[in-house]
Structure 1
Amino acid sequence: MLLFCPACSNTLTVSRSDYEDHHPNGVNRLQCKTCPYQFILNKRYYERRLMKRKEVEDVMGGAGAWDNVDQTDAQCPAQDCGGDKAFFYMVQIRSADEPMTTFYKCTKCSTRWKEN
């Protein structure tokens, strides 16, 4: 959770408070680094957010990912298929200095695989 200063709109940082004499365990505060604003944290503050996980199809193109893709000669990895043609598309899923990942789908049995 990122909080901002109500006086100057800069980010607030957490630091030790100067009011240690009243609290033997010490107290933290939210402090602005550009103006004198500070807020004493005298109780626990937390925020819980449930993150929605993305489906793999949302990331990799969904149901229409195989529409209008090219074909190539590629041996299907399924042992009982024997197909020698596959649909394919390429995606840059790693850093830019790494090669693109090629995703294949057999035209005969619809088996999917990938190559780096």
Structure 2
Amino acid sequence: MEFCPKCKSMMFPIEGSLKCKKCGYVKEKEEAPELVSKATREEREVTVLEGNIDEGLPTTKVKCPECDNTTAYWWLRQLRSADESETRFFKCTKCGYTWREYD
């Protein structure tokens, strides 16, 4: 994150440069740091649970789509940007099937 040297507002990347939306100051390409693009969902690998670490997780009443058991462990993971809600995951206490809740 970089701030405008004139008005101290946050600067935004626009076409390889940084621009202040408040006063219009532009930091040219040769001055601007290398901008990093966000990874797409396909490029990210999400680890849900490894091994047998589900002990101690809270449980809830929810129907397993694989075995129809009605109890599952649950946990939350932040998969998208911080301003979007977390994703809730479930793991069946009987068969171990793992799935996520979609809003």
User: If the length of structure 1 is used for normalisation, what is the TM-score?
Assistant: 0.43
Name the one with the larger helix percent. 1
> Which has the larger Rg?
1
User: If the length of structure 2 is used for normalisation, what is the TM-score?
Assistant: 0.48
